[in-house]
Structure 1
Amino acid sequence: MAVTWVLKPEDVARIRFAFSPLWELVASLRTLRDPARQSVHLPWVKGVRPRLAGLDMEELFALVPPDGYLADFITPPPDTPLPDFASEIDAVRRTPPERASAEAARVVGSDPAVIERFRADPAAGVARVADALEAYWETCLAEFWPRVYALLERDMLRRSRLLAKGGARELFAGLDPAVSWTGERLVIERPWTCKPHDTIGPLHGDGLVLVPSAFFWPGTAVMSEPYQSMLVYPVSGVGTLWEEGPPPVPGALAALIGRSRAQILLALAEPATTSALAERMTISRGAVSQHLGVLSDSGLTVGLRVGKEVVYRRTSTGDTLALHAS
């Protein structure tokens, strides 16, 4: 099965990137139920499974079966490039009960009794599900989110540069083997889709949001009306997600500029924010800011403001120094 979207010029002009902590949280429910299909996440699964004993996961697992359609209202498309979990869970709580009930009715492969209990009072069901998602987030994913955030952020920034440099053709050429672009039509092979019977048609005038995902990897997913049109694709570099510590530092580079600055310079093989670097380096944001200041004053890095964040990248001089030190 394939989904084909016809993109008008205005849709192409409104392509944007975003990522979603709530999407990762919901996708991780499938990882928990079938770790074998995503063995890359086994370190996380082993770490959090003992914590599930105190959580009520029944309705979440019913609305997110192991395969096929999952209720869309618990994965609203992100409306900003860098949404936070609190704003996304608020969007879930505002779901119209009739929409939640209709979407729950479309879920197959789950306990019918649990689905019927949800649909008997969908307003109360939405509140219970939002509470369960919050509890699951705090117990199993919040402490790991900075690590996932950094991976998604690097991917989003890299692909944004591809879009700016080569347009939609270059962007979609490297997005995923399941995604192809003809110059007018975007074809997504075998995605999870909120409308399985609508396999071809135009977007509905709102452009397209591209969302990298670590926990849905290696699959793709699409959403459209009545939601913002969205394509979820597998993030690159997911194999490094659960690796510990910063990149190794060659001795000569460390001797020249200091070990921490050398680690930061090597980590900037992909652009990153101060917070993402601090998480990866396991040092404070203040310390990272000081080191970035020195690196920038030396002409090795440069910062660019993107929304509320400053994204740092290596300059050509920094690239040369890092390349010869590696």
Structure 2
Amino acid sequence: MRLRFAVSPIWETVAGLRLLARAHAPHPHAEWLGWATGKLAALPDDRSVLSALVARADIPEFLIPTPGNRMVGFDAELEALTWTTTPERVTGALGAQAGLLAAPDAVPRLQERLRAVHDAVIRPVWAQVEGVLQGDLERRGQRLLDAGPPAVLGELHPDVTFESLRLVVSGRAITPGERDLVLLPSAFVWPGTHLRDSPLRLGLHYPARGFGSVWQRSCRATGDGLDRLLGGTRAALLRALERPVSVSELAGALGVTAGAVSQHLGVLRAAGLAVSRREGREVVSLRTALGVALLRGEV
């Protein structure tokens, strides 16, 4: 197994769409979601085809191929669809909704829709997103040199382990063998991961360290008052506590140290905005009713 790193703009586009389709999206993305929802609503093009494809549990491989190089531009990934897939594969992936696309022009129409979405909600924030993704790659690349693949894989995510040449992701065990394992940090896959298992290579998307800071710096739509009241980091923590979350997950999402997270959580608990409890070997935290009310502007 050879361990590599890569960034995929087309994956970020697809993952962003999947996030927008959720009824209850994670709060670290709340500001981007509010901004992106308005941007998509203004698009004249019908996005039902994309929505049908990205909503599948098994996203079609032709839509999100694992990059062969570390950094591939969106235009290159989009153009690759021309020669990596066929109209029949696209309509076949749509299943009962195949009538949404006429087979002869299925691929170019899919490309048009992907570009429209990317230009509307990803390209405007791509500089910030790319900075976080590349920063994650640099840190993990150095870790790979210092400690080797097992250390890197063991620190990616609580659901990922690597033992006895087997990769285990969310309970699923895989033997990479001679295949490349490509690690792809993402700003839109949280709190879990996404594994792509193909004959040539494995692609593992994981939450990039510090991705939550992207939305603090870019598409801020709401929450400035909360940031002024609590401070940027504490406000971001409060937004992230939609479900029970561990200190290590919060530290990774916001790009701060575990010690800093613990300190800020202590302040939130003292104010009655959060509670913490032990689950197994970890301590997890969650917003209180008062914390929810504060986020909603009800207090």
TM-score (norm 2): 0.66
2:46 maps to amino acid = D
Contact 1:76-1:227 at 8 Å conserved across structures: no
Contact 1:204-1:225 at 8 Å conserved across structures: no
Q: Does 1:100 align with 2:90?
A: yes
Report the alpha carbon displacement of residue 72 of structure 1 after superposing the two structures with TM.
2.0
Please give the alpha-carbon distance, in whole angstroms, between the structure 1 residues aligned to 2:91 and 2:52. 13
Larger Rg computed on CA atoms: 1
Please give the alpha-carbon distance, in whole angstroms, between the structure 2 residues aligned to 1:184 and 1:117. 44
Report the alpha carbon displacement of residue 200 of structure 1 after superposing the two structures with TM.
5.0
Stretches of structure 2 that go unaligned for 5 or more consecutive residues are 219-254, 256-299
1:134 maps to amino acid = R
2:54 to 46, 60, 64: 64
> For 1:127-276, what aligned pairs fall within 5 Å after superposition?
127-189=108-170, 202-203=175-176, 205-226=178-199, 228-244=201-217
Report the alpha carbon displacement of residue 210 of structure 1 after superposing the two structures with TM.
0.6
**Which SS does the other structure have where 2:26 is aligned?**
helix
**Which SS does the other structure have where 2:168 is aligned?**
strand
Q: Cα deviations across residues 57-110 of structure 1 (Å, max 9, x unaligned)?
A: 110001111x622222111111211111110101122233244344444xxxxx
Paired position in structure 1 for 2:278: none
**Which SS does the other structure have where 1:222 is aligned?**
strand
Residues 1:203 and 1:173: Cα distance change in structure 2 (over 3 Å): closer
Report the alpha carbon displacement of residue 201 of structure 1 after superposing the two structures with TM.
5.0
Stretches of structure 1 that go unaligned for 5 or more consecutive residues are 1-10, 106-111, 191-198, 246-269, 271-326
Q: Does 1:87 align with 2:76?
A: yes
Contact 1:203-1:224 at 8 Å conserved across structures: no
Please give the alpha-carbon distance, in whole angstroms, between the structure 2 residues aligned to 1:227 and 1:35. 35
**Which SS does the other structure have where 1:37 is aligned?**
coil
Query: Identity of paired residues, percent?
Result: 31
**Which SS does the other structure have where 2:201 is aligned?**
coil
Contact 2:179-2:200 at 8 Å conserved across structures: no
**Which SS does the other structure have where 1:72 is aligned?**
coil
Contact 1:222-1:229 at 8 Å conserved across structures: yes
2:31 maps to amino acid = P
**Which SS does the other structure have where 2:169 is aligned?**
strand
Report the alpha carbon displacement of residue 161 of structure 1 after superposing the two structures with TM.
0.8
Please give the alpha-carbon distance, in whole angstroms, between the structure 2 residues aligned to 1:45 and 1:228. 32
Report the alpha carbon displacement of residue 50 of structure 1 after superposing the two structures with TM.
2.1
Residues matched between the structures, number? 216
Contact 1:16-1:209 at 8 Å conserved across structures: yes
Report the alpha carbon displacement of residue 40 of structure 1 after superposing the two structures with TM.
1.3
Please give the alpha-carbon distance, in whole angstroms, between the structure 2 residues aligned to 1:95 and 1:37. 32
Please give the alpha-carbon distance, in whole angstroms, between the structure 1 residues aligned to 2:200 and 2:129. 25
1:39 maps to amino acid = H
Paired position in structure 2 for 1:32: 20
**Which SS does the other structure have where 1:232 is aligned?**
strand
2:78 maps to amino acid = I
Shifted more, 230-239 versus 219-228: the winner is 219-228
Residues 1:55 and 1:227: Cα distance change in structure 2 (over 3 Å): farther
Contact 2:193-2:204 at 8 Å conserved across structures: yes
Report the alpha carbon displacement of residue 205 of structure 1 after superposing the two structures with TM.
3.2
2:145 maps to amino acid = A
Contact 1:18-1:80 at 8 Å conserved across structures: yes
Paired position in structure 2 for 1:115: 98
Report the alpha carbon displacement of residue 141 of structure 1 after superposing the two structures with TM.
1.3
